[in-house]
Structures are given as structure tokens and as C-alpha cells.
Amino acid sequence: MKKRKIFIACDSSNLKIVKKIIANTKSNKLDIGYKFGLEFFYSKYGRNFISRLKDKKIFLDLKLNDIPNTCASAIYSLKDLKNISYVTVHINGGFEMLKAVKKASLKTKKNLKVLGVTVLTSFSNTSIKKIGHTKSIKKLIIKQAILAKKAKLDGIVCSGYEVKFLKRICKNMEIVTPGIRFKGDKANDQKRIISPKSAFDSGASAIVIGRSITNGNIKSNVQKLIKSFN
């Protein structure tokens, strides 16, 4: 049976904490990689530490969102990081920006996968209206997924709520699902959360899980994750 692809979110600027997360999340039953966002990447030792993780699968969650040339240049600036497998870009940056990022990724590293971020899992239909959107999250994400496919991105990032209907649009694309919580865990700042098993059952290619693993006893939480799939 194919191992489930899990990205552990290393959401801290503290190098000791990140090292502890990596040291305690090894498993031969899961395909584990590590997600690094802005908090760690921008920290004093972040970029250098990431560059030295030669035997790890790295998900660089930068969520690029700027004019096409700036985002393409940001991708080129990652050229020295040979071990990165994934990088993220906001789909709402527009079609030209998405094309520029994908083109730059191919020139930088041919197997670097670009994932388009749809509506963040911290948004609800109420909060998305507050920033001027008139469409529901579902309708907005469908348009975003179509745009990502047209721009030939490698995949999308969406909550578990949207995976099932986006599978039909994003054929042959990866669907990565954040906002993962064990049943009974606090939602914290997330609005659209889902359990690990439900995410995969819906059709997710991979999940990103942070606090449900990294809070408390990390090794025990990894075992809890494994058992949740049975």
C-alpha cells in the first residue's frame, strides 16, 4: 500500500523547536516531509538550515503574491536550495503571475512543483465577504482552480471541504490539504478544518498538519496519526 504523504508544519522561528519536530516525526509507515512557512524561512537561521536538509522532502510555503516579474525573481532566488520539492503561490495573484512563476520554476529546478493556494483555511464565507468578495468560497475556489490548471501549475492547496468537487477540475494535479486537526482538537485560528483520514478519503494527495502533531508529545501524536487511518 502506498504511504500517505504528510507534511509536518514547522511553524516556529525557534531553531531548537524545529530540530525537535524533525527528530521526533520519523516514521516508516508514512511518507513524511516538512513544511516551512514565512515564520521560519525569514528567521535568522531558517534559510541556511533548510538548505542543509538534504535527505528530507521540503515544502516551502512562501505564498508568493506580487507582480509577475517580482514573483519570478523570487523563484530564481531559490536556485541554491536544491532540495526544495514544492513552493506555493497565491492564485489570486492572477494568470500572468502564475505563468511567470511556473516558467521560472522550470528554469530554476525542473522537478520543483508549484502549488496554487486557493482561499486560506482561516476564512469563512462571512470573513471573505468582509474583504469585498461577493461569491461564496466554493464558487471562488472553483474559479481559482480553473485558473491554476490553465496556468499549468502542478497542484493546488485547498481545505478538505473543497477536495471532492475540485478533483473533477484538477485531474492529474496534486491537491494538498491544510487545516488538519484530530477529532476533538481546537480549531485555533482555522475555520475550515478536517481530520487526516477525512482529507485523504475525500481525495487529497497530501496533507499539511501542524499543531495536532507538534503540540504535546510529538512521537505519541505521530502514532495517533498513523492509527487514525485504520
Q: Which of 56, 63, 103, 129 is catalytic?
A: 63
Residue of 31, 25, 56 lying closest to 224 (CA atoms): 25
Q: Which amino acid is at 81?
A: L
Domain boundaries defined on the chain: 5-228
* Active site annotation includes 63: yes
Per-residue confidence of the chain (230 residues) as pLDDT tens digits? Answer: 578 999 999 999 999 999 999 999 999 999 999 999 999 999 999 999 999 998 889 999 999 999 999 999 999 999 999 899 999 999 999 999 999 999 999 999 889 999 999 988 888 788 888 888 888 888 999 999 999 999 999 999 999 889 989 999 998 999 999 989 887 666 666 777 789 999 999 999 999 999 899 999 999 999 999 998 88
Locate cell 541556511: which residue?
48
What CATH architecture does domain 5-228 belong to? Alpha-Beta Barrel (3.20)
